[in-house]
Amino acid sequence: MKTFFAGYLDKSVDLAIMLAIVAVTTAVGYFLRRQVLGRLSRWAKKNNSPTGDIIFSAIKSPFILLSVMMGLYLALEYSDLSKKLVGNAEKGLSILAIFAIAMASANILSGYIRTRAAKIDSNLPVTSLTENIIRIIFYSVAGLIILNQLGISITPILTTLGVGGLAVALALQNTLSNFFAGFNIIVAKQLKVGDFIKLDSADSGYIEDISWRATKLRTLQGNYVIIPNAKLSEMVVTNYNLRENDLAVIVPLGVHYASNLEQVEKVVRETAAAVMKEIPGGVPDFEPLVRYHTFASSSINFSVIMRAQTFSDQYTITHEFIKRIHRRFAEENIVIPFPIVALNTRQESEA
C-alpha cells in the first residue's frame, strides 16, 4: 500500500512539475511578447512605419502558441514517459510549429502587400481573393513539409491530385469559374476596390471587395449587391474611376427669349465657379462651361458643365448649383419661363 501511494505521489509531483514548466514558459513568452512586440509597436507609431505594425499583428497570436509548445516540449523532456510516446508528442509539436510559422509568414506577406498596394498602383490590388491565395500557398507548402515530417511520400499524393483534378474541376465548375474570373478581374486592373461602377443591369455602387466567389457592390443607398465574378466578367460595366476619378456634371437650364444671353452666360459661369470652389466635392481648378443648344417652344435652352471629384459628389454639386442659380436669376431679373406654347396670330395672319 505504501509503495502504491509513494508511486502515486511521485506521479503527481511529476505532473505538477510538468504543468509548472508549461505555465512558466507560457508566462515568460507572454512577458517577452509584451516587452518586445510592445516596443516594436511603439517604435512603429513613433516613426510612422507600417512594418512594425504588420509584424506585431502577424506574430502576436503565433508567438503565444510557440511559447506554449516550447513549454510542452520542455515538460516532455523532463518526464519519464516512454521514448516512443515522447517522440510522437514532439513530432506533433513540430507540426504545430510549422503551422504557426506558416500562419505568421502568410500574415506578414499579406500585410506587406496590402501596405505597398495602398502606396503604389500595384499590378495585383489586394482583396480578400489575393489574401486567400497567399494563405493557400503558404499553408500548402506547410502541409507538404508536415507530410514529409510524418514520413509520408508526397509524390503519390501529387499524382493522385493530378488524376482527380479533372473530376474536381467538373464538380466545382461554377466555383472555379467564379474564382478564375475574379482573379482575371483583379489582374486586368479594370476594376478595383473603391471604384464606382454601373452595370448594364442598372445596378451601381462602390466596389467593397472581390472575393473568390463574388464581388460585393455597395450602392449609394447603403445596400449591398452581390454579383458572381463570372457573371460580372460578362457584363457591360461603366467604371467612373477609370481613367479619371472626377466626372462631368451637366445641368440643363432654359431662359426666356427676351433674356440677354451674354448676361445669362456671365451670371451662370460666376455661380458655377463659386459652387466648384466652395462646395466639397467640386473641382476648383475647372472652368465651368455654358453651351446654348436649343430654341425650345418656351425658352432658349443651354447646359451648364461642371465637374465633381467622385460619382456621389455630383448630387451635392447639382443641388447647391440649382439653389444658387435660382436665387441669382431672381436678383438679376432673369426669367426661367414656365413650359408654355405661344401662338403668334399676327404672324400667321401676315403669312
Sign of the alpha-carbon torsion through 199, 202, 205, 208: negative
Q: pLDDT digit string (tens) for 200-241?
A: 888 888 888 888 788 888 888 888 888 888 888 888 888 887
Lowest mean pLDDT segment, chosen from 81-85, 190-194, 314-318: 81-85
Q: Does the global pTM surpass 0.85?
A: no
Type of residue numbered 271:
T
| Closest to 211 (Cα-Cα) out of 224, 220, 201 | 224
Sheet harboring 289-295: ordered strands across? 247-255, 300-308, 289-295
- Residue ranges of domains in the chain, CATH in brackets: 2-152 (no CATH), 183-239 (2.30.30.60), 247-332 (3.30.70.100)
Give the start-end residues of each E strand in the chain. 196-199, 204-210, 214-218, 224-228, 237-239, 247-255, 289-295, 300-308
What's the confidence (pLDDT) of residue 190?
A: 79
pLDDT over threshold 50, residue 9: no
Give the pLDDT band (50/70/90) at residue 162: low
Residue 162's SS3 state is helix
Over its C-alpha atoms, the chain yields an Rg (Å, rounded) of 35
Q: pLDDT digit string (tens) for 295-329?
A: 988 899 999 999 998 888 889 999 999 999 999 99
Q: Vertex 196, ends 194 and 200: CA angle to 5°? A: 135
